[in-house]
Amino acid sequence: MGSHRTREGQRFSADPDLQPQPLWHARHRAYHRQRVLRAWDLLAGAATDVMALALPVECVCCGKEDLALCAGCERRLRMLTRRPFRAETGAPALMDTDGSVILPVVAAGIYREELSQSILAFKRHGQGQLRQVLSKVLANTLGAAYAGRDGMVLVPVPTSGSAYRKRGFSPVHLLLAGAGRGCNGRRLECNDALRKVRKPEAGAGLTGGQKGLGRADRSGRVRGSMRTARGAPGRSLRGRQCILVDDVLTTGATLAEAARAIHEAGGIVRGAVVLAATRAPDAAAAPARSRHPVEWLGDS
């Protein structure tokens, strides 16, 4: 994939490996009848101004100053993710040779424009505002994918050890923690049961990302690279219905490997949820998608 260039000339790599804070109606400070609230509002505004001077921030999409994601770009990101969709038909590793679905996936949006730039910036720097924005996007998508069903366990796809050491955090875990009660008002049950393992036969070949690799190379690299945690976390998946959670869907090889590890531990993988898919779904392979975009748990 190429690189994106913002209006201010800043470049963003379109590497998929590496919410919006909801808009509210503005209230003038004078609307607060209590003096304490007015004083707090003034202090908060002053603190924001001081922080903007001490730690200058620019919108990761357009370069506008003072916010990590300006109101206009946040609105466009919300529009890009307003209709979650079934995305597995764009991921070769998740489709069988006869066209049947191996693993259904619901994506919040296509990996482009404000969505791709926000995800990449968050994964590089983990800004608090971007975490809130993307967590809300993830929560909304999980709510759509749940479709009123209970008893599902969310299992985040782990990041590699080298990526964790470089960033200091796991993006998917942070976003899931930020999603909170965003899934139809219910507490999300998460199980951090998956672990990355180093394949002895791969040796140094596991270093580096998967950018630029084809389907076969990606599948070969990730095959056997995950297992469930030993002890209670891994055992607790036995017989449970699980939903995988990741940030970006490319070929689907990573999700397929995660599903294999959970199945091996006795869990039942019903599907996956991602923030973005790098390819639009194949409408011909999923003719019902327009009428029932995310009715997939137990139906595929």
User: What is the three-class DSSP state of 167?
Assistant: helix
Q: How far is CA 231 from the centre of its chain?
A: 27
Beta strand 152-156 with 226-228 is unpaired
pTM for this structure? 0.71
* Residue 96 Ramachandran class (φ > 0 left, ψ -120 to 50 alpha, else beta): beta
Distance from C-alpha of 191 to C-alpha of 180, rounded to nearest angstrom: 14
Contact predicate 113/62, CB 8 Å: no
Higher pLDDT, 186 or 263: 263
DSSP 97-142: TTS-BSS-EEEEEES-HHHHHHHHHHHHH--HHHHHHHHHHHHHHH
- Which region among 8-12, 170-174, 188-192, 224-228 has the lowest average model confidence (pLDDT)? 8-12
Go through the domains of the chain in sequence order and give each one's CATH number.
80-277 (3.40.50)
- Per-residue pLDDT reduced to its tens digit, 205-248: 444 455 455 455 555 567 778 998 887 666 788 899 999 999 99
- Per-residue pLDDT reduced to its tens digit, 250-297: 999 999 999 999 999 999 999 999 999 998 776 555 443 433 344 444
Helix (H) or strand (E) holding 156: strand 152-156
Of 105, 106, 134, which is closest to residue 120 (Cα–Cα)?
A: 134
